[in-house]
Structure 1
Amino acid sequence: MNHKTRTLGYRDGGPIVRFDKVGVTYGSGTQALRDVSFELESGGFYFLTGPSGAGKSTLLKLMYLALRPSVGQANLFGVNVGRASRNDLPLLRRKIGVVFQDFRLLPHLSVFENVAMPFRVRNVPLADYAEDVDDLLRWVGLGARIDALPETLSGGEQQRVAIARAVVGKPSLLIADEPTGNVDPDMGARIIRLFIELHKLGATVVIATHDLDLVRRSGAPVLRLEAGELTQAPNSSPLMKANL
């Protein structure tokens, strides 16, 4: 861990995410979250569930620093994000990988270039990451599409590019919004195995999903939202209880 991270207050082994009575109200007056409190331990594997409109997307935005709470306190890596400076936020974001439901690929960049973005924005030399990107694209079945533009890909292929981009830098916190929603069951199982492997390497994983069968089979702790309120929170053991 570098010196800058220590000055931000993060301690190994403590909660990587801690929300204390967090609420979010949008400008329209819509209250998306209310009085949400929970902790996610470093190195845990969690699912986020709940019906459409329950506030899952808002909760994920708080966790990947696209939003700040209206009330309450949200801490990531020991940092109160509501009070974090603009200089601190980029450092925190580098530790987070996100799989967006709408993919958010850059249309003018190739598959390889999209996946390599976490390295490119930090000016990492191509020689230091090219092999990792190639290997990961082959693993998700896109080795033959490495030079393709996003518009030429199917929805499932675009999703796999988005997943590869999120995990290639081995983030400390991986957040995925319905990562298996546009792929066939075999590829979905492969993607979940990839997340489990990252978890075994020390990443904290949070997956939002409507697939309750997947959640039950995993045995992993669950965050459940209903109408903006947390109705189920993880217990004291954040680790996987069963293999998928």
Structure 2
Amino acid sequence: MVRFENVGMRYGMGPEVLRDVSFHLEPGSFHFLTGPSGAGKTSLLKLMFLAHKPSRGLISMFGHDIATTDRKDLPSLRRRIGIVFQEFRLLDHLTTYENIALPLKVAGREEASYRADVRELLAWVGLGERMDAKPPTLSGGEKQRAAIARAVVAQPELLLADEPTGSVDPEMGQRLMRLFVELNRLGTSILFATHDHSLVEQVGAPVLLIQNGELVYHG
């Protein structure tokens, strides 16, 4: 599903923030992405979401060589990926319900076909009573939960999560972790970036460890 070979990445003319990164993710796999702050975890996720291009090396997503994929075909690849950003990226003029349902609406589905599923997901992440609220009125933890729900609602083939439980209390963190595990059981490949080693130990999934822009451990 994902293949990196000797990938490097830099911002503008600056030094490389990722160097000689090589790994692959199989369909249906679950991996944790760990490493100290500034090691390159977020940059790696941006490459996988096709938000940035590598400065060198090969990236293959869903069997497509990104370097040779036509720009007009990139949006269709991105729609196969769910992502939880640290900065949430909710749309302030939409309600919580509308934000979470947005990927389904963009995909062309009729609301009647997904209304019940979105409401059930809202209840699961503890936002059932906040579905009509707009993001400016939500707490940081509520925004995080809404962003997670939006990322998983369409059951993407690949889910990229950047510290997804960092703004919630431990009990909700455990509940969200069960959501990720269940989504993986249903077939979604997951790359979960976290500093929380207790989550890594709880799930027991393989780890990608990045230090100073280099992948130093995969297993």
TM range (shorter): over 0.9
Q: 2-side partners of 1:131 and 1:231: how far apart?
A: 44
TM-score, reference length from structure 2: 0.98
Q: Deviations over 1:2-31 (max 9, x none)?
A: xxxxxxxxxxxxxx1100000002214121
Report % sequence identity.
Answer: 59
Please state how far the C-alpha of 1:125 moved relative to its aligned partner. Answer: 1.1
Matched, 1:69 2:59: no
Which of 160-169 and 121-130 deviates more? Answer: 121-130
1:207 counterpart residue number: 192
2:157 counterpart residue number: 172
Q: 1:32 aligns with which of 8, 17, 20?
A: 17
Q: 1-side partners of 2:175 and 2:100: how far apart?
A: 18
SS in 2 for 1:133: helix
1:90 counterpart residue number: 75
SS in 2 for 1:124: coil
Q: Deviations over 1:130-182 (max 9, x none)?
A: 11111100111111111100011110000000000000000010110001100
- Give the aligned residue type for 2:194: T
Task: Looking at secondary structure, tell me which structure has more helix per residue.
Answer: 2
1:148 counterpart residue number: 133
SS in 2 for 1:66: coil
State the Cα RMSD in Å.
0.9
2:167 counterpart residue number: 182
TM-score, reference length from structure 1: 0.88
Q: 2-side partners of 1:131 and 1:71: how far apart?
A: 45
SS in 1 for 2:147: helix
Figure out how many residues of one structure are paired with residues of the other and give that number.
Answer: 219
Q: Which runs of 5+ in 1 are unaligned?
A: 1-15, 235-244
Q: Which runs of 5+ in 2 are unaligned?
A: none
1:211-226 maps to which residues of 2 (within 5 A)? Answer: 211-226=196-211
Please state how far the C-alpha of 1:219 moved relative to its aligned partner. Answer: 1.5
SS in 1 for 2:38: coil
